[in-house]
A and B are shown apart, each in its own frame.
Chain A
Amino acid sequence: MERSEAELIAAVLQGDAASFEPLVQRYSPRVFATARRYARRESEVEDIAQEVWLKAFEKLKSFRGEAPFEHWLMRLTVRTCYDFLRGHQRNRESSFTDLSESESDWLQAFVTAPESASETADAAKMLVGRVLEKLSPEARLVITLLEIEDRSVKEIAELTGWSVPLVKVRAFRARGEMRKIISKMAKDKYL
């Protein structure tokens, strides 16, 4: 019979480290999906996931069981991803002059007829990836959680450990930052 989450956590806390394995198996897909929002290379994604699980094991004592384990783990994952973004701020200064042919075509299609540019096109996905990479870590985290994952300000505050007013301020700044980057992309492409 499959042991419950609470039983597994209690066993780990009593020194049975092997009981941690089913937790890793059960929740790793969520951890990997979250990490892939912030890291592009697969090796980086694996590093983030590994760090999340090692931190989870170390800090399991601090899990009080008031909220589901998954929420606690997601907080840990989001904070680890934020640390990763702060440590890997590459490509932020590069320009948009090196757009691929498909990206340029998609942008051109948007300029001529915005409704014809499909949101599901691979070029659009690559382009948004480029824009997100140029955002500051705070802005990227807020845009991802608020606009892409459609979470509430309160949820974001819980996940990040920031206060609700701070999330609102950072969301406002992040939208402005993203608009500036898009404006720069338009200039690089058409001027």
Chain B
Amino acid sequence: MNEIELQKKLIGAARASAPDDRVPYAFEKRIMALIPAITPTDSAALWVRGLWQAAVSCAAIALLCGAWSFFNPATNTSEDLSQNFESTLLASVDQGDQAQ
């Protein structure tokens, strides 16, 4: 079988059959019904809305933390947290001094 000739014949067959350009009834109405759903919005407006939502969430969290610390005051512990933190950080330096 001459495959190159067959390829030419098949391409010729595809050329000979122009595709149908028929459009379904009321297709444009369907598109117009879908368009309000995708109406482009201003990107600046989207940013402003997002930032406002973030600001409100941050304010709510700050208020909750404030309320929690107000109603649950820290109990007096024998050692201050900052002192503990400092001694942990400087533990290796202290050990070095003791060794000398």
Instruction: For the complex, count residues of A whose C-beta is within 8 A of B.
Output: 48
B17 at the interface (CB under 8 A from A): yes
Which residues on the A side are within 8 Å of B18 (C-beta)?
Answer: 33
> What is the distance, in angstroms, from A70's C-beta to the closest C-beta of chain B?
13
- Whether A20 and B35, one on each chain, are in contact in the complex, defined by CB atoms closer than 8 angstroms, is yes
Separation of A33 and B21 alpha carbons in the complex (Å): 4
Which residues on the B side are within 8 Å of A143 (C-beta)?
Answer: 11
Selecting from B22-30, B54-62, B72-80, B88-96, the interface stretch reads B22-30
Task: Name B's interface SS.
Answer: helix
Question: Given known contacts A30-B21, A37-B19, A120-B16, is B38 in contact with A57 (CB within 8 Å)?
Answer: yes
Which residues on the A side are within 8 Å of B7 (C-beta)?
Answer: 175, 178-179, 182
- Whether B11 and A147, one on each chain, are in contact in the complex, defined by CB atoms closer than 8 angstroms, is yes
Identify which of residues 145-170 in chain A touch chain B, using a CB-to-CB cut-off of 8 Å.
147-148, 150
B residues sitting closer than 8 Å to A (CB atoms) are: 1-7, 9-24, 27-32, 34-36, 38-40
A residues sitting closer than 8 Å to B (CB atoms) are: 17-18, 20-21, 24-25, 28-30, 32-34, 36-37, 46, 49-50, 53-54, 57-58, 61, 110-111, 114, 117, 119-121, 124-125, 127-129, 131-132, 143-144, 147-148, 150, 175, 178-179, 182-183, 186, 190
